[in-house]
Structure 1
Amino acid sequence: MDVIMTTKVDLASMNIMKKLIENFGFKETDMVFDGNPVYRNGKTLILTTNDEMIYYDNLDKTIESQLGFKPEIIAFASRHSSKQKLPALTTHVTGNWGKAMYGGKDGSLAIAVPSAMKLALLKMNELNDLGWTVCYEATHHGPSELDVPSFFIEIGSSEEEWVNDRAGEIIAETIVHVLDNYKRVKFKVAVGIGGGHYAPKQTKRALETDLAFGHIAPKYTHPLPKEMLIKAIKRTVEKVDAVYVDWKGSKGETRQLAKGLAEELGLEFIRD
């Protein structure tokens, strides 16, 4: 079973959930999760919790204990917040390169599913008639303690955007498309190093080439210890083919570490 995770405390999450139910045939079941009704369409369930999703470590285990199954993948339908209030449609995997400031554990990474995030990026870009930014975000926030693949897909970045009907429709359609297709596609998979939080170079590569990114470590997380780069490769559900470095957007120590690690592991090294 696939899970779309939503929360009552998030306006964007509720917007997306509403569009999924209205437009994509999800029906209420007699199941309950965290005290809330569960909706189903085929092998996909919409679950709702009552608190912020970024703090929901071990969600997969909670689902198994409450509903009796371990999900194959979790898509978190969420808001994105930023001081710039940039209207945006974003996707990313969760985790903390260092200290956990917003959920998850220190130095802990969730399991990335690059094919799903790339499909999300492509579909959001295709459907985007709002003129908003479509991009990856770097790996950040929780939950990081999950033993199944997961990704966040978000409407940003202020209340005006979170409740936008069209944005809700775009994300709902994108989630359905991703869950229907992510196992059927094969891309070249890379771990991304460097750049800003909104990963402009990685986003451009993913939109224009066959490259799909898992974890992305932006410049503000550098320098990175070698064990975290190895963890980023291991915590990717698909085989990692390459280490990609935004060269000017990385600190010298980290870009040399990334280059050396690629050689050591026999991975392609991509310098941009």
Structure 2
Amino acid sequence: MRVIMTTKIDLASMNIKERLVENFGFTETDKLFDGNPIYRRGQTLILTTNDEMIYYDGLDRAIEEQLGIRPEIIVFASRHSSKQRLPALTVHVTGNWGKGIYGGKDESLAIAQPAAMKLALLKMSELNDLGWTVCYEATHHGPSELEVPSFFIEIGSSEEEWVVDRAGEIIAETIIHVLENYEKVKFPVAIGIGGGHYAPKQTKRALETDLAFSHIAAKYAHPLKRELILKAIERTSGNVDAIYVDWKGSKGETRQMARALAEELGLEFIRD
């Protein structure tokens, strides 16, 4: 069973949920999750909680306890906030390279599903008739303590964008496309290191080539511990084939360590 997670306190999340129900044939069931009605379409459930999703560590366990099912993947439909108020459609896996200031545990990473996130990036880009930015974000915020693959897909970056119907439609259609196809595709996978929070070089590479990204550690997370790159590899669904470094967008000690680690592990080293 696949799960789309939403929350009542997030305008973008409710926008996406409404578009999913209206456009993709989800029907309300007689079951509840966190006191809210569950919607179902085939092997996909829409669940709704009452609080911020970034703090929902152990969500997979809560689903198992309340519903008796273990999800194959969890898609968090969410808002994205930024001071720049950049109109954007974004996708990323969660976790913390350092302190867990916004949910999740310190130095803890969720399980990435690179094929799903790449499909999301490609589909959002294809459907984007709003002229907004479409991009990966670096790994950040919680929840980080999940034992099934997950990712956040977001409408950003202010209340003005969160309620745009077309943005909700794009994300809803993207989610359905991803859930129907992510297990059928195979891409070479890289851990991304360096660059800004919106991962411009990683996004460009994923849109223009067959490379898919797992966890991405932006420059602000450097210097990066070797153990955390190893953890990122471990917390990736499927194989990791490469370590990708935005060379100018990385601190010296981190990029040299990444190069040495790639060589040690027999992974391709991609310098961009």
TM value normalised by structure 1: 1.00
Query: Matched residues in 1 for 2:268 and 2:216: separation?
Result: 16
User: Offset of 1:186 from its aligned partner?
Assistant: 0.5
Give the match for residue 153 of structure 1.
153
Give the match for residue 55 of structure 1.
55
Q: Does 1:215 align with 2:215?
A: yes
Query: Matched residues in 2 for 1:214 and 1:78: separation?
Result: 19
Q: Secondary structure, in 3 states, of the residue corresponding to 1:264?
A: helix
> Could you give the per-residue CA deviations for residues 207-264 of structure 1, whole angstroms, max 9, x where no partner exists?
0000000000000000011100000000000200000000000000000010000000
Q: Secondary structure, in 3 states, of the residue corresponding to 2:247?
A: coil
Give the match for residue 73 of structure 2.
73
User: Offset of 1:166 from its aligned partner?
Assistant: 0.1
> Could you give the per-residue CA deviations for residues 85-124 of structure 1, whole angstroms, max 9, x where no partner exists?
0000000000000111100000000000000000000000
* 1:251-262 paired onto structure 2 within 5 Å: 251-262=251-262
Query: Matched residues in 2 for 1:229 and 1:126: separation?
Result: 31
User: Offset of 1:177 from its aligned partner?
Assistant: 0.2
Query: Matched residues in 2 for 1:157 and 1:46: separation?
Result: 23
Give the match for residue 168 of structure 2.
168
Query: Matched residues in 2 for 1:101 and 1:128: separation?
Result: 32
User: Offset of 1:195 from its aligned partner?
Assistant: 0.1
> Could you give the per-residue CA deviations for residues 117-169 of structure 1, whole angstroms, max 9, x where no partner exists?
00000000000000000000000000000000000000000001000000000
Q: Secondary structure, in 3 states, of the residue corresponding to 2:106?
A: coil
Query: Matched residues in 1 for 2:186 and 2:237: separation?
Result: 12
Structure 1 segments (4+ residues) deviating >6 Å: none
Count of aligned positions:
272
Query: Matched residues in 2 for 1:76 and 1:180: separation?
Result: 16
Query: Matched residues in 1 for 2:257 and 2:42: separation?
Result: 45
Q: Secondary structure, in 3 states, of the residue corresponding to 1:184?
A: coil
User: Offset of 1:267 from its aligned partner?
Assistant: 0.2
* 1:168-187 paired onto structure 2 within 5 Å: 168-187=168-187
Q: Does 1:87 align with 2:79?
A: no
Q: Which amino acid aligns with 2:95?
A: G
Gaps of 5+ in 1: none
Give the match for residue 32 of structure 2.
32
Q: Secondary structure, in 3 states, of the residue corresponding to 1:65?
A: helix
Q: Secondary structure, in 3 states, of the residue corresponding to 1:134?
A: strand
Q: Secondary structure, in 3 states, of the residue corresponding to 1:155?
A: strand
> Could you give the per-residue CA deviations for residues 64-99 of structure 1, whole angstroms, max 9, x where no partner exists?
000001100000000000000000000000000011
Q: Which amino acid aligns with 1:104?
A: G
Give the match for residue 225 of structure 1.
225
> Could you give the per-residue CA deviations for residues 159-185 of structure 1, whole angstroms, max 9, x where no partner exists?
010000000000000000000000000
TM value normalised by structure 2: 1.00
Give the match for residue 246 of structure 2.
246
Query: Matched residues in 2 for 1:49 and 1:202: separation?
Result: 32
Query: Matched residues in 1 for 2:210 and 2:168: separation?
Result: 27
Query: Matched residues in 1 for 2:73 and 2:246: separation?
Result: 29
Give the match for residue 120 of structure 1.
120
Q: Which amino acid aligns with 1:9?
A: I
Gaps of 5+ in 2: none
Query: Matched residues in 2 for 1:239 and 1:8: separation?
Result: 36
Q: Secondary structure, in 3 states, of the residue corresponding to 2:96?
A: coil
Q: Does 1:197 align with 2:201?
A: no
User: Offset of 1:36 from its aligned partner?
Assistant: 0.1
Q: Which amino acid aligns with 1:31?
A: K
Give the match for residue 96 of structure 1.
96
* 1:40-51 paired onto structure 2 within 5 Å: 40-51=40-51
Q: Secondary structure, in 3 states, of the residue corresponding to 2:69?
A: coil
Q: Which amino acid aligns with 1:263?
A: E
The percent identity for this pair of structures is: 81
Query: Matched residues in 2 for 1:41 and 1:17: separation?
Result: 13
Q: Which amino acid aligns with 2:183?
A: K
> Could you give the per-residue CA deviations for residues 34-66 of structure 1, whole angstroms, max 9, x where no partner exists?
000000000000000000000000000000000
